[in-house]
Amino acid sequence: MPRFRVTVEYDGGPFVGWQRQDNGLSVQQVMEEALHRLTGKPVRVQGAGRTDAGVHALGQVAHFDLQRDWLPYKIRDGMNFHMKPHPVAILEVAAVEADFHARFSAIQRHYLYRILNRRAPPAVLRGRVWHVPVPLDHEAMHEAAQALAGLHDFTTFRASRCQAKNPVRDINEISVIRRGEEIHLRVSARAFLHNQIRSIAGSLKLVGEGRWPTERIAQALAARDRKACGPVAPPEGLYLTQVDY
């Protein structure tokens, strides 16, 4: 059976997340239903990352097997047609080897967290950024974030319901920069814990507001205690931007 890799963009707002669930519509379900209508056969789609409800993607990657060969552009155009009007788009399709796996073959995942840092609330960007009306010191946030780079036990910065057996993760790169009215937190690692980036973003916001000193992030990390974490940032500011193989 030929295997195909697809790059996917979606607005996570209307969905319960990437993964199929009983309590609502997921991105995975929309893609699988589109493939069923396109091919006439049930198709299982495997994604590189299980984004939560409300989290967006600019470069999610998934794979699936079809019972016969297809031209990649016909898969792309056919899926995009059958996924209307849902805010999901197939950007690229490529045939891959049978041992390729969107999740397990990935060597790095890149995320972006967007904070709109201005007094006025968002209109066009509503549901796509975290609005923080008080001024934030992005340089202090960046300085504090560097304590999280490298291999650490991230127990403090993961959800209490996280199912990962090991809380140790290796953050290859983390940065906080300002782009006009927006502050961008970028984080790259091979794998992440449940709510890890949103937990980090919420804690760094406290640094940016001056409520936490920069060294508080390192102290929270060392505590290995969920109670040492700041409030978890909302999902609408988070984007899976790219997956490397």
Give the H/E segment covering residue 77: helix 72-82
Active site residue 153: no
Give the H/E segment covering residue 168: strand 168-179
Residue 128 has phi, psi (to 5 degrees) of -125, 0
Contacts of 71 (CB under 8 A, 6+ apart): none
Cite the DSSP H helix spans in the chain.
27-39, 72-82, 138-145, 196-208, 215-223
Contact 88/8 with Cβ under 8 angstroms?
yes
CB count within 10 Å of CB 134 equals 11
Q: Which of 11, 22, 52, 137 is catalytic?
A: 52
Amino acid sitting at position 53: A
Residues annotated catalytic, as ranges = 52
